[in-house]
Structure 1
Amino acid sequence: MIYKNIVVIDDLGDVFEPLNDAFSDDLEIKIRHLTSDFDSLKKYLTRDTYIILINETGLKVDLDQLVDFIQRNLFFLAIPILIVSDNEEVIKRPPKLDSPVLNVALKPLVMSDFKPRLEYAIEVFEYNRNINDISGLPGNKIISSKLLSEISKNSKFALVFLDLDNFKEFDEYYGLYKGSQVMYFLANLIEESIKEYGSIEDFVGNVGGDDFIMILKDYKAADLICKDIIAKFDKQILDFYDEDDIKNGYIETMNRDGEIEKISFMGISVVIMNYMEFKGKMFDEVFRKMNEVKKIAKQVDGSVLLDAKNY
């Protein structure tokens, strides 16, 4: 089982023990005890850490040096750090951290108040770690949770797959920075179209790479949203190309055989499905159907919208 680890760096042990008791019945959250020994931290501080809690009281190393040591590891830059101490001066002036979430707490800790605080911090961190760094949209774990929630509620919704065409070649030709700009542009464009034609309950996520998914509550509105996305995308995507390439009408890249290929400008393949029409089918079967139609869409030169019910 994969645990949500709260790592307690506690040389005294007076924070770890009551915290461990408070979470003893929790099947998902595990309290791990480490000391401030740098060699031990280097070995046992792992990527499955959700919160790092430092007991400043009785700490055998300098607090600022300890925090600096932890944050030299890029994996831990985004992990919330919580400092507890019986020294009010430490609480008032905690060390400067790069971590996006910093909390401080004065001892003695009241577990009935402190435990919910940690549980909430874990929820926030778990959500944030499943956000795509480039598009800023929810990733696979949140997407799966949302889909299963809608299905379990027997909701009516439209499922939409969106996939960029010729993005890989664009990314290789212009570089990672410009490719990231396109991803961010498309994510914003999708959100804008949902705000204009959809509802507050609509959802968009980034499956990975240049693949996006929308879960939209109204099938008719979904059609408008998809058409709006395509129209705006086709109108604005040329802004990311150089003038010479726009004049040529293509970019030139080298394929795996070492041959020069002329690659058309990016388009977007969109597949829409009224989920109620496929109700009762296995989840894998629905996704297989969507992917089959998406392959057909990607054979079309330029942007296209296809409805899965027609294929």
Structure 2
Amino acid sequence: MSKGHILIVEDEIDIANMLRIYFSGQGYTMDVAHKGQDALNATRKQLPNLIVLDINLPDMSGYDVCRELRTTTRTSHIPIIFLTQKDERSDKIAGLELGADDYVTKPFDIEELKLRVQNAIAASARQKNVHPITNLPTGGLIEEYLRGLMRQTRPWAYIDVKIQQFDVFSEVYGWSAGDEVLRFMALLIGEVIDKYGTPDDYAGHPGRDNFVIITHADDVDALTENLARRFLDEIQQHYSFIDRERGYMLVSDGNGDQRVPLMSIGVGYVSTMTHHFSDIREITEMAAENRRRGGSGESSTNNSDDILTAW
């Protein structure tokens, strides 16, 4: 199992390759970006557990990259270690003031950097309640974010998403295949938010087969319907050819083989456009109830009920 996903942002190719090879050998999955904008694009595709960020980049400074990551809701929790040739006290203070978690000066000791990476990822998991598979915020952070939203006047919607038949899939295909589905789901949510949401939208992972999206989008139905359709289309790749062709799994129990539908998602949401919420529990319970009723919105009738209804 991977120890975590690291994004290296470094324009010196030799250093970037050395770090990629070293940390891959230590059990991490790696991505490398040579420009600041490439790094920002990479975080939109997949959230890393940690970013090692050079300050001197060809298109924008590492400070600007850090500022963008810290002011974007979905990436604000990712630990950042600055890696730079600058050794001035003022440079270190500037990086830490932007929210960087650590600062390493070139030339550096690779073993020391490894320990700093390990410590930063561990501290993030302890303090920020991040899911180890998807790197999305879990219960504590989601509640904290909701409390802040409830003090604001800008309208928003809370979307409850559940992967149906996920537990059966994991039993048949194994826990590793189940983890891949969770990573796929996190990536899909990020892509849908990019297309149909806003830069301030938020995604969380409170439970193994349960995800949440908090969006300021004007058209929540477009977001949820696209999410459901893409899930149905793309989840097929996680099944064997035989299961894809017949459209279900065969699962043995005491009564013989039973047909179990392929995974789908159930979606329900609530919005401050139509409700005033007094506490967080009211929000989560109402959204979950709408999901169980099979509608994406606040009534059970929806043009996409055939897609969104739970099996």
Band the TM-score falls in, shorter-chain normalisation: 0.5 to 0.7
Q: CA deviation at 1:309?
A: 4.5
- Inter-CA distance 123–146: structure 2 relative to 1 (3 Å threshold): farther
Structure 2 gap segments, 5+ residues each? 1-78, 82-106, 302-311
Q: CA deviation at 1:193?
A: 0.8
Map residues 19-30 of structure 1 onto 2, 5 A cutoff. Answer: none
CA shift digits 1:32-62 (9 cap, x unpaired): xxxxxxxxxxxxxxxxxxxxxxxxxxxxxxx
Map residues 140-159 of structure 1 onto 2, 5 A cutoff. Answer: 140-159=139-158
Map residues 69-218 of structure 1 onto 2, 5 A cutoff. Answer: 96=112, 98-101=114-117, 125=124, 129-218=128-217
- Inter-CA distance 238–204: structure 2 relative to 1 (3 Å threshold): same
Q: CA deviation at 1:154?
A: 3.3
**Alignment-derived partner of residue 293 in structure 1:** 290
Q: CA deviation at 1:98?
A: 4.7
- Specify which of 216, 233, 236 is matched with residue 235 of structure 1: 233
CA shift digits 1:222-276 (9 cap, x unpaired): 2222121112111111111111112222111234x56432101110111122123
**Alignment-derived partner of residue 52 in structure 1:** none
**8 Å contact kept, 2:128–2:137:** no
Give the alignment's Cα RMSD to 1 decimal. 3.1
Q: CA deviation at 1:296?
A: 2.1
- Inter-CA distance 126–165: structure 2 relative to 1 (3 Å threshold): closer
**8 Å contact kept, 1:160–1:273:** yes
**8 Å contact kept, 2:224–2:296:** no
**Alignment-derived partner of residue 266 in structure 1:** 263
User: Letter of the aligned partner of 2:178 in structure 1?
Assistant: G
**8 Å contact kept, 2:158–2:269:** yes
**8 Å contact kept, 1:158–1:219:** no
**8 Å contact kept, 2:221–2:297:** no
CA shift digits 1:189-247 (9 cap, x unpaired): 11001111211100001011010001101241x22221211121111111111111122
**8 Å contact kept, 1:130–1:142:** yes
Identity of aligned residues (%): 23
List, as ranges, runs of 4+ consecutive aligned residues in structure 1 with deviation greater than 6 Å. Answer: 121-124
Task: State the number of aligned residues.
Answer: 197
Greater Cα radius of gyration, structure 1 or 2: 1
User: Letter of the aligned partner of 1:229 in structure 2?
Assistant: L
Q: Distance in 2 between matches of 1:122 and 1:170?
A: 30
